[in-house]
Structure formats: structure tokens, C-alpha cells
Amino acid sequence: MDTKTAGRKLGLKEKYAHMTRGLGWDTTYQPKEKVFPFEQMEGIKIHDWDKWEDPFRLTMDAYWKYQAEKERKLYAIIDAFAQNNGHLNVTDARYINVLKLFLTGVSPLEYMAHRGFAHVGRQFSGVGPRVACQMQALDELRHSQTQIHAISNYNKHYNGMHDFRHMHDRVWYLSVPKSFFDDAVSAGPFEFMVAIGFSFEYVLTNLLFVPFMSGAAYNGDMGTVTFGFSAQSDEARHMTLGLEVIKFILEQDPANLPIVQKWIDKWSWRGIRVLTLVAMMMDYMLPKRVMSWKESWEIYFEQNAGALFKDLARYGITVPECVTTATKEKDHLSHQAWSTFYQYGAAAAFHTWMPSPDEMDWLSAKYPDTFDKHYRPRFEYWREQEAAGNRFYNKTLPMLCQVCQIPMLFTEPDDPTKIAYRETQYKEDKYHFCSDHCQHIFEDEPEKYVQAWLPVHQIYQGNCFPEGTDPTAPDFDPLAAVLQWYHIEFGADNLAFEGSEDEKNFAMWRGMATQNS
């Protein structure tokens, strides 16, 4: 390139600048405020977008080349996995319920991230961050699609994931992850970046995405773990973008600090609440455990995120208060969540079960201060009842937290025998919360959170029955009607794992694959 006509050789950084920010210009036929109408709405002050340091320098031709190479390898393995009935190599059929939770709860979020990053990738007036956001928008589409394609073969053989898109918009526990992302995308563009780019992708990814992939690796699921490995380098880019964004905003103006701190506080808690589902997955749903939720929290939050917040202290950022609560909850979270899902196993699109005696011993060892004292007795009682033919299903509907939308199942941070209830009055109505932090989030933006589509309220209002249902009919069965509306097939997608079609089919197919009769 540096021929006689070109004077000097360009450095990588300079060359990349020509390939990105050199393309932009200040519009004159249309005012900047009309071209980028949302940049001022949150009060974040950016004085000089040129101070943005590109966290990675990837031109489109290189992007196409590297990503295509990864896709080629990934799909070769997904194909081989399907062709060789790889699903029969998982530890046991209970594991497949993890994939149901993942496909119905997480993969649609990847898609929302795709659209959310496309949105902010249009709205920042700085070219550098816009390009980085657009690439992430494209990556997130990749993740949503590769997850669907990797899990597609499981769907052909097992229940509970066949209508994941329909379920995601409707089923009660899926409104927890859904409302989390709706919240982020409906916020202003800078808050979205702090919520998703920083809090979700940087701070929490090792607690959310990684446990699913490690779980796949530990449980013989080659299809899913290959997707995880394939996404690793994308995730590394997303993490550097998330960190760069927060540093850039904070360096631009001291007035940005209180706004950013408020967002970090809010989104740490919103994220931690979503992690409830991961906690129970790690401790109860993986036949072969990777580590306990508590250990995961200690390594990835207390140690790693602790170091991150030390690094951010020079900008004036402090560790969110909610971390104290979350740290107290680490001994309880997974047990409380799993007992809730066990009770509501008739209304979930995956199977639930009580841990075996061995598994209970593992839980006792991992949670020496709490499991035997608070949870084992309840679980053993349920096991006995189950053995006696009285498998317990809770037929009432739980009260939900107005913000995180999780049933009010959490106990007081300092009293594990007492459910935590918080409430506040806003205009004509009373609103309920699972914690101080959810209450604070509500009180800061009540007009936003009063809009929440709360599944239980919606059921009681009659909005979750198939068209033409008559709730006044004498034989009206509300649970059956709601499940029909969810597209949860009674007896196939829900109820106990023991005796389920999944359990029977897996045993039969594995027998066909490993025995001669």
C-alpha cells in the first residue's frame, strides 16, 4: 500500500481510524439534535467523542473472515452431534431441563440484545462506539441463532422447548428475564450501555452465561459447550466494549458520575435477581455439578468484580449497596428458588424433582450453615410425600415483586425464617417488592414500573386464557386454561421428572444405543 504515491506507512491505530471515525462527518443540512435525537435525554455529558479508545480494531473484512471460520467449525460439530445422537451422551435426562430453561429464558435475550445494540448503534454520535455496538448487534444475532440451532436437535427428542418463543412472551417465570431486557432496551442509550454492555456483559457474564456452558461441558453436552467455546472470543470483545464505555462516560464529565453510579446500583440488582434462576440451575438441575452457586458468587463476584470495583474507585464509583444483600443471600438463593419451582412444577415448562440423598449430602457440604438447618427437612418431607404418592403441587398463585417479577420467595437478609415483604403506595395503588433494592428501583422510576406486565395479575384479570374461554363455566379449570394459553402441554412439558416422557424416552433410546436387546 505504501507505494511511491503514498508518502508514509500508516500505523494500525491510524489506519483503523480512517476505516471508522474517518467515515463520519458533522451534518449541516440537518441539525445534530435531529440526527441523534436521544443523546441528550439522560443528562450524560459527552464533550469529545474523539477521546473514545477503540477497544478492538476489527474491520468488516476481518470480521467476516474470522467469524465465518468459527461458524464453519461450530456447525460441523452441531451436525455431527445430531447425526450421532449426541443427546444420549449427557449425564442423565434431568440435564436436558437446563437447556429448556436456557432456550426459553436466555436465547430470546440474545435476540433482544441484538436489537438493542442495533438501536444504540444508530444513536451515538461518536462513530467509534457506533461501529462497536453494531458489531455486537451482529454477534448477538449469532448467539441467538447458534443457540437455537444447537438446541434444535434436543427439541426433536424432548419436551418443554418446542414453543420457546411463544412461551418467552407469556410464561410467568420467563417474565423475569424478559422484563429485565425490556427494561434495559426501553431505557435511554447510555443506560442501555451501562445495563447490558457493562453490568450484564462485563460484571455478570461469568455468573450467567458461563455456568450454562460449563454445565454443558460437565454433563457431556458437546453441542452446547461447542457453542459456548465458539462464542468466547465474541464475549471477550463485548466485555472490553462494556468496560471502555463506562470509563469513557466517567472520564468525559464529573457530572456523569452520580448518574452512572445510580445505573450501576440498579442494574447490579436487576442482574443479581435474574441470577436466581442460574443459582438453582447450578445447585439442583445439573446432574454433574460444576461448583455450587455460593462458590460461583464468591469467585466471580466477591473476588473478580471486587477487583473491578477497586479499579473503578479512581473514578469515584463505589460497590453497590445491594451486594451486601446478595452476599447474605448466597447461602439461601438456590434452595428457595428450587423449592418454589418444585411447588409450581405443574405450571412450568420443565420438570422438577427432589435431590437424591447423595445430592442432599453434597448440598449439606456446600452449604454447611444453612442447608441442613433450613432446607433439608422440607425437602426430605417432600420426598417422603412423593414416595407415598402425594407429590405436592401448589395450586395458588404467588404474589410477584413489581420490579424483578420473581414470586415473593426471598427471606429477610438477616432472618431466613421470614419472607421479605416491602410495599409502597403510588397514586391510587399499592405495590409490592421482594427487597429494599427492588423498592428503591421502583421509587426512582415509578411511571416505568407501574407498566409491568405481571403474569399473576394478568391471569387474575383473565388475560391469559385461550380465546373463547368462559371462566364462569362450572367446569372451568384455570390452570388448564393458562397452560393452554402458554402452549405448555399438560403431562408432557410439565410435572415431575420421575415418570415423565423425557425420562422414559431417554432410558429407552440409551438402551437402544448401548445394548443389544
Partner 1 sequence: MQLDLRTVSIRPKRQTFSHIARRLGADKPASRYQEGTLDLQVTHNFHYRPYWAPQFELFDVRRTAIQMADWYTFKDPRQFYYGTYTLARARQQETTEGAFSFVEERGLVPNLPATVRKQALAVLLPLRHLEWGANMNNDFICAYGYGTAVTQPALFHAMDRLGIAQYLTRIGLTLGSPDDLDAAKQAWLDAPAWQGLRRYVEDTFVLEDWFELFVAQNMVLDGLLYPLAYQHFDVALTQQGGTAVSMLTQFMRDWKAESDKWLDATLKTAAAESPANAAQLHAWVSKWEARALEALAPFATLALGEAGGAALNEVHSQWRGRLTKLGVAPQGAAA
Spatial distance between the Cα atoms of 16 and 432, rounded to a whole number of angstroms = 51
- Under the binding rule (CB under 8 A), the answer on residue 111 touching partner 1 is yes
- Under the binding rule (CB under 8 A), the answer on residue 69 touching partner 1 is yes
Nearer to partner 1, 223 or 416 (CB): 223
Contact at 8 Å (CB) between 87 and 153? yes
Contact at 8 Å (CB) between 462 and 313? no
Binding residues with partner 1: total (CB under 8 A): 101
To partner 1, the closest distance from the beta carbon of 428 in angstroms equals 20
Burial label for 324, CB within 10 Å (0-12, 13-18, 19+), is: exposed
- Under the binding rule (CB under 8 A), the answer on residue 38 touching partner 1 is yes
- Under the binding rule (CB under 8 A), the answer on residue 72 touching partner 1 is yes
- Binding residue for partner 1, selected from 183, 265, 283, 331, defined by CB under 8 A: 183
Contact at 8 Å (CB) between 309 and 265? no
- Binding residue for partner 1, selected from 40, 91, 186, 390, defined by CB under 8 A: 186
To partner 1, the closest distance from the beta carbon of 348 in angstroms equals 17
- Under the binding rule (CB under 8 A), the answer on residue 34 touching partner 1 is yes
- Binding residue for partner 1, selected from 44, 46, 67, 261, defined by CB under 8 A: 67
Residue 362: phi, psi to the nearest 5?
Answer: -60, -45
Contact at 8 Å (CB) between 193 and 83? no
Burial label for 357, CB within 10 Å (0-12, 13-18, 19+), is: exposed
Element (H, E) at 432: strand 429-433
- Under the binding rule (CB under 8 A), the answer on residue 512 touching partner 1 is yes
Kindly report the number of other CB atoms within 10 A of residue 107's CB atom. Answer: 22
Spatial distance between the Cα atoms of 127 and 132, rounded to a whole number of angstroms = 9
Interaction mask 251-280, partner 1, x per CB under 8 A: ------------------------------
- Under the binding rule (CB under 8 A), the answer on residue 168 touching partner 1 is yes
To partner 1, the closest distance from the beta carbon of 501 in angstroms equals 8
What is the end-to-end Cα distance of the chain in Å, rounded?
69
- Under the binding rule (CB under 8 A), the answer on residue 427 touching partner 1 is no
Nearer to partner 1, 127 or 286 (CB): 127
Spatial distance between the Cα atoms of 487 and 39, rounded to a whole number of angstroms = 41
Footprint on residues 429-448 left by partner 1 (CB under 8 A): 448
- Under the binding rule (CB under 8 A), the answer on residue 233 touching partner 1 is no
Spatial distance between the Cα atoms of 266 and 261, rounded to a whole number of angstroms = 9
**How is the chain split among helix, strand and coil, in percent rounded to 5?**
65, 5, 30
Nearer to partner 1, 185 or 278 (CB): 185
- Under the binding rule (CB under 8 A), the answer on residue 164 touching partner 1 is yes
- Binding residue for partner 1, selected from 92, 182, 298, 372, defined by CB under 8 A: 182
- Under the binding rule (CB under 8 A), the answer on residue 187 touching partner 1 is yes
Report which DSSP code applies to 451: T
- Under the binding rule (CB under 8 A), the answer on residue 71 touching partner 1 is yes
To partner 1, the closest distance from the beta carbon of 332 in angstroms equals 27
- Under the binding rule (CB under 8 A), the answer on residue 451 touching partner 1 is yes
To partner 1, the closest distance from the beta carbon of 156 in angstroms equals 4
Q: Count CA atoms closer than 13 A to 503's CA, side-chain side.
A: 13
Footprint on residues 340-399 left by partner 1 (CB under 8 A): none
To partner 1, the closest distance from the beta carbon of 19 in angstroms equals 5
The sign one gets for the Cα dihedral 255, 261, 266, 267 is positive
